[in-house]
Amino acid sequence: MSAGSHDDAVLPMPELLTHSRRSLLGRLAMLGAGTAVFQRALADEVTKSGKLSEAQISHAEWIAGLTLSESDRATLIRSGDSLLSELQQLRAVRLEPSVLSSLRFDPEMADPGIRERAGSSAPWLSPANVETAAALPVELTDENLPWLPIRTLAALLRAGRLTSERLVQLALSRLKSADPQLLCVVTLLEESALVAARQADAELKSGHDRGLLHGIPWGAKDLLAVAGTTTTWGAPQYRDRKSDQTATVAAKLAAAGAVLVAKLTTGALAMGDQWFGGKTRNPWNTEEGSSGSSAGSAAAVSAGLVPFAIGSETLGSIVSPARRCGVAGLRPTFGRISRAGCMPLSWSMDKLGPIARTADDLGIILAATHGADSGDPCSVDRWFEWPQQADLQRLRIGRVTNSKLQPPEQAALDHLRAAGAQIVDIELPRSDADDAITVMLEVEACEVFRELSNAGTTEGLNAWPRIFQKARFVSAADYLHASRLRLQLMQKMAALFRSVDLYIGGDDLVITNLTGHPCIALPVMLQDQQPEPRPVCCTMTAGLYDEASLLAIAAIIEKRADVLKHHPGLKSAPAEKK
């Protein structure tokens, strides 16, 4: 539009300009046009009418009690023309949710020495010798096989007392039987799983051994793509979605000989335990959900349907369902496991990790899946070997004093103190702004699913529509401000880990998901609950890339706690699918 345009000369605006008030305010402020009152009034006029004209500028002048020159008015028209043209060009480009952002989160920024320290074992760790022969059961039944740890199953496979085909058939049978109660299965991969199991048996018989996971069944949270299968993300809009890609973590497990038997439920777009098929249930009490969003992964492991599963966490989605279902879950350091081929939610916060029965199981799975991958620019190679044992005399284990100490956390500390551990009091760095920093997650999720957000889609998406709407009001400046506060939090956590090696509890899901630190949920005691007593978990958090210490300490607690022998009864009435 020319500078001499009249009242009837208007600038067409894209449909989504109603979300551009902050962009326009920023442009007006940059120009120094008028006062703050004038800028807000003009932005309101434009977002209401969907156009920019000299009449609207005049009206805003009247509200603000000022008069602009013709030159200032012409400058505003040109600026608006430029802004709207830029926005229209940006919004015209459609992107799949899988397309990455050019911004990369780096948890190492706050601790320059971490890369060198993460290149080798911690000084209190040493390789462990794990004996399995004495633990092998005399009799193998369909009742005891589902509860055996991976290392024991591997020994039975190599001793010729068990076949992968039998294990897989048992897993498939149990998944079919329990799913009406738990609603934890999206897709059963019966045909491909049996083919893979027979291949694993043939390879092991011929002497081709891929490692401890060779022939072991597993389940995948249904945001991991597997070529030829549906990957629904738990949302009705994607229930028929197929990909020709296989997630890197699934490919690594296949290379290790593990057999994928099922795609397991996730809450819609990785939120909660509600998906398009209903609510995934807790095996210890099917009247309640299994928590989310790795709902099916935790429920299936807890019920003995699969020996292990892969889940994901952005803000609690491994730790929370593991605690609800009374199983072990590991959220590794940000970047430990490649996310390539997985549904993104927040590029700067998403993490993948295993859910299993024991700390040793978690270590075996992490050993097979960690490492840098070109498909995920945030993934890294850092030292990890398993199994390891820890010298408690050389470790400083923190007890968090500025958070209420829960019974399972006290139980874990008691076990460690009895084993000779040094317990020190610490305070976690807390700020009123910590929760607010998670607006970064909301903004990133809104952009990942911009097509759903732009369309105003609400069906089956849990609370996401409201969150997407809220995220539209966050400016780029607000996002970057949150990012700067996040770095300060990372620096405070780096300082904390100079005085302690790991800590118990602390109610730290928000803090450590923002900083990228690893955390484990571990069953440590039985608690009287209805309809039956169930295992409850503590959480432990360690320094960046120090999963080996977490797992070694968890193994000590696990042996002393002795709760793994308890299994859910699944006695409640079946839940109904929608």
Q: How many residues does the chain have?
A: 578
114, amino acid identity: I
Distance between CA atoms of residues 59 and 50, nearest Å: 15
Chain centroid, CA 122 distance in Å: 26
Distance between CA atoms of residues 362 and 337, nearest Å: 13
Report the b/e string of 195-217 with b at 16+ CB within 10 A: ebbbbbbebbeeeeebebbbbbb
Q: Which residues are known catalytic residues? A: 221, 293, 317
Of the candidates 67, 87, 80, 89, which has an alpha carbon nearest to the alpha carbon of residue 31? 80
SS3 331: strand
Report the b/e string of 128-146 with b at 16+ CB within 10 A: eeeebeeeeeeeeeeeebb
* Tokens encoding 156: 């039975």
CB 221 within 8 A of CB 355: no
* Tokens encoding 251: 């490919």
Q: Helix, strand, coil: what percent of the chain each, to 5? A: 45, 15, 40
Distance between CA atoms of residues 550 and 501, nearest Å: 10
SS3 503: strand
